[in-house]
A and B are shown apart, each in its own frame.
Chain A
């Protein structure tokens, strides 16, 4: 296998507490050496980074790939292309497909379909995601399920959730809980507050999330099992998780870029790309999410990438299915709204996007330590650019950030020692290795437009 020498990058790796200008050599698919100056041996492709950031490949722990069932919206293949375009080298795929991922053969299907990156299946908590009978978690785990979740639908029964937590913990996997009390949500489509009052959109209260988070945290405490709270969006959730952690309860949680970058005020435009579950929240909630990210209450940033076709989203706001794509904008939205604004430093951002989710799911990735598998993301944190619809590689384009000016852009993504994405004009339908060949001819990469 060919070797790659990344020369003169700013290597930021929170797993080793590293942030300095170093060379990094990838050999035989692993990180071979990190040093101030590395001699280029033979059969090495040398890339001069000119100060661009070299980070562990991003790990997105919450992705909907729609495969099997809605291959018109996304497939494991197209989702993987989108992932590497966003610097993501490992992702966890949610099981709310058609059919749901609730058997070992479907876990196997999801786990083995991507030739670009690691796609880690999350299997359903209950058969058919119906909230009634537990799935065969031991067998699903053995087939490669890294966690269990009925995401998209909360587990309504506290009794079922209690048993799920106990059983999943026995097989060494966390339960990822979608926390919403649907009885309280009712027919709500927008956060209850001034924006829902003015827009007339049916309100969904923050309390619908808070009470569900409180229930699952209490159950985790009572059973001693591990729970991971998905897409935390409210101030109440952050407070509950913070207190639970202080009490020693085994709880982790994630938030998504739209919950720290956007407020519910945006839905007054009735733009259906802003119809998301849980809904975009108030300014006070956004402030609490940012604090939680900075003080360690929130453990990870995940995209909740939820592709929907144009036809499905080109309808009235309350008729649109919830969800927005986010795999490709995970890094720039984080840099723009957390790092540039001074909420957190770049190292903490990278930790939230790589090492921390990898640790929660106990999967490979999130480090540039010598000997580790070479999953690497190279990006220019200072590059300012305008997000256009045509830029996306996802099959779906339902992003709330189209038209936004963002900071930071991925230039190179390396998965298992292979360059799987490299910025540059890619001709349609080119084979994967064409990227490498073409870049070799160009020499130095134009990291700044």
Chain B
């Protein structure tokens, strides 16, 4: 299937075919990452800005690496929104970037909808690298990629996501993607960290971790923010770990071939014990590797749409120069 969208703002609304197009393309790029020379000239002449309004290490590095592997010119813009509040608006920042003739913007922002706002003011392609508690589509895509690598077709597979569901953009993107691919999703977490009417997303909601992991083929464990205690969401991290932490004592309750995932960065001993994180069921580091390939695929597919939009049907990037 041919990819036709100019932006990747989220997985909501994407069809199974569209998601598989990205994942299949990622498979080609994944192979490149195991070569001695991990670089292709595909995006030569394309300029990409990584616009990060929130601290991020791995997502920004992963995008930057993906861009460099494709031979794009990249630049990084990092700013805290607090300093921006005093000065330039997001719209002005965007217009300045536009004036620099940038082709694509990879954006991380604490406000939900910020990348959607940018699409109304910019001609460039926008990749959402996380907008508040809304979506983080490339994280979910790399999760889906890693799951398929392990268990094959996700139709009817049981996926349990554990943790702070309320504040998680990773969960929202995962739910849309998993539902599109036919998986059965269970969300497990404290009642205070479960968003309103979550069941209406077509998932099962539970506050009992043991019940949630019993039949799961995949358990995806979310990072818990230490500051959640302050908003009266949790009495203590200690009690959180007791109720929702995944440690060795839970393993006997799970399937023998369960796949353990975590989007990182992990709080060892809080939501996941070191033994589980480093154990043979964990694919946490494979997720990181696959992340580069998935982001290469997204950037490549969007750039192809962008160039055909600009130059009519140009053949320039039609072939991946492998």
Closest chain B CB from A399 CB (angstroms): 17
B196 at the interface (CB under 8 A from A): yes
Closest chain B CB from A253 CB (angstroms): 25
Q: Would you call A194 and B196 a contact (CB within 8 A)?
A: yes
Q: Would you call B200 and A194 a contact (CB within 8 A)?
A: yes
Closest chain A CB from B142 CB (angstroms): 20
Q: Would you call B111 and A198 a contact (CB within 8 A)?
A: no
Q: Would you call A197 and B111 a contact (CB within 8 A)?
A: no
**Which positions 71-120 of chain B face chain A at CB distance < 8 Å?**
85, 89-91, 109, 111-114, 116-117
Stretch of B30-38, B129-137, B285-293 that contacts chain A: B129-137
Q: Would you call A316 and B195 a contact (CB within 8 A)?
A: no
Q: Would you call A318 and B111 a contact (CB within 8 A)?
A: yes
Chain A 177-215, CB-CB to B under 8 Å as 1, else 0, gives: 000000000100000111011111111010000000000
B169 at the interface (CB under 8 A from A): yes
B198 at the interface (CB under 8 A from A): yes
A270 at the interface (CB under 8 A from B): yes
Q: Would you call A198 and B201 a contact (CB within 8 A)?
A: yes
A314 at the interface (CB under 8 A from B): yes
Q: Would you call B201 and A200 a contact (CB within 8 A)?
A: no
Chain A 310-321, CB-CB to B under 8 Å as 1, else 0, gives: 010011111100
B227 at the interface (CB under 8 A from A): no
Contacts of A196 in B (CB 8 A): 195-196
| B53 nearest CB neighbor, chain A only | A316
Q: Would you call A203 and B111 a contact (CB within 8 A)?
A: no
Number of A-B contacts (CB under 8 A): 66
Known: A203-B196, A315-B91. A198 touches B114 (CB 8 A): no
Closest chain A CB from B128 CB (angstroms): 11
The bracket for how many chain A residues form the interface is 20 to 34
Q: Would you call A317 and B111 a contact (CB within 8 A)?
A: yes
Known: A315-B89, A318-B111. A200 touches B197 (CB 8 A): no
The answer for the CA separation of A194 and B197 in the assembled complex, in Å, is 5
The winner among B113, B131, B200 for most chain A CB atoms within 10 A is B113
The answer for the CA separation of A200 and B109 in the assembled complex, in Å, is 12
The answer for the CA separation of A317 and B117 in the assembled complex, in Å, is 9
Closest chain A CB from B310 CB (angstroms): 27
The answer for the CA separation of A203 and B167 in the assembled complex, in Å, is 11
Q: Which of B109, B113, B117, B197 meets A201, CB within 8 Å?
A: B113
| B85 nearest CB neighbor, chain A only | A319
Q: Would you call B196 and A317 a contact (CB within 8 A)?
A: no
The answer for the CA separation of A196 and B91 in the assembled complex, in Å, is 24
Closest chain A CB from B161 CB (angstroms): 14
Q: Which of B85, B112, B169, B200 meets A318, CB within 8 Å?
A: B112
Q: Would you call A316 and B12 a contact (CB within 8 A)?
A: no
Q: Which of A186, A194, A270 meets B112, CB within 8 Å?
A: A270
| B135 nearest CB neighbor, chain A only | A200
Known: A199-B113, A270-B112. A315 touches B195 (CB 8 A): no
Chain A 296-321, CB-CB to B under 8 Å as 1, else 0, gives: 00000000000000010011111100
Q: Would you call A200 and B132 a contact (CB within 8 A)?
A: yes
B179 at the interface (CB under 8 A from A): no
Q: Would you call A319 and B111 a contact (CB within 8 A)?
A: yes
Contacts of A316 in B (CB 8 A): 90, 109, 111, 113-114, 117
Q: Would you call A197 and B113 a contact (CB within 8 A)?
A: no
Q: Which of A194, A202, A314, A315 meets B133, CB within 8 Å?
A: A202
The answer for the CA separation of A315 and B118 in the assembled complex, in Å, is 10
Contacts of B135 in A (CB 8 A): 200
Contacts of A200 in B (CB 8 A): 112-113, 131-135, 169, 172
Contacts of A198 in B (CB 8 A): 12, 172, 201
The winner among A200, A202, A203 for most chain B CB atoms within 10 A is A200
The winner among B91, B133, B231 for most chain A CB atoms within 10 A is B133
Q: Would you call A192 and B196 a contact (CB within 8 A)?
A: yes
Chain A 27-42, CB-CB to B under 8 Å as 1, else 0, gives: 0000000000000000
The answer for the CA separation of A317 and B114 in the assembled complex, in Å, is 8
Q: Would you call B201 and A199 a contact (CB within 8 A)?
A: no
The answer for the CA separation of A110 and B129 in the assembled complex, in Å, is 49
Closest chain B CB from A113 CB (angstroms): 32
| B91 nearest CB neighbor, chain A only | A314
Q: Would you call B198 and A199 a contact (CB within 8 A)?
A: no
The answer for the CA separation of A316 and B114 in the assembled complex, in Å, is 6
Contacts of A203 in B (CB 8 A): 195-196
**Which positions 156-191 of chain A face chain B at CB distance < 8 Å?**
186
Closest chain B CB from A365 CB (angstroms): 42
**Which positions 118-177 of chain A face chain B at CB distance < 8 Å?**
none
Contacts of B172 in A (CB 8 A): 198, 200
Q: Would you call A197 and B134 a contact (CB within 8 A)?
A: no
The answer for the CA separation of A319 and B82 in the assembled complex, in Å, is 12
Q: Would you call A197 and B197 a contact (CB within 8 A)?
A: yes
Contacts of A192 in B (CB 8 A): 196
**Which positions 189-226 of chain B face chain A at CB distance < 8 Å?**
195-198, 200-201
The answer for the CA separation of A314 and B90 in the assembled complex, in Å, is 9
Q: Which of B12, B85, B113, B196 meets A270, CB within 8 Å?
A: B113
| A270 nearest CB neighbor, chain B only | B113
Closest chain B CB from A284 CB (angstroms): 11
4 smallest CB-CB distances across A and B, nearest first, come from: A200-B134, A270-B113, A316-B111, A200-B133
Q: List 30 A-B contacts (CB under 8 A).
A: A186-B231, A194-B196, A194-B197, A196-B195, A197-B201, A198-B172, A198-B201, A199-B113, A200-B134, A200-B172, A201-B112, A201-B113, A201-B132, A203-B196, A269-B116, A270-B112, A270-B113, A314-B91, A315-B89, A315-B90, A316-B109, A316-B111, A316-B113, A316-B114, A316-B117, A317-B111, A317-B112, A317-B113, A317-B117, A318-B132
Q: A201-B112, A316-B114 are in contact. List 4 more A-B contacts (CB 8 A).
A: A197-B195, A316-B109, A319-B85, A319-B111
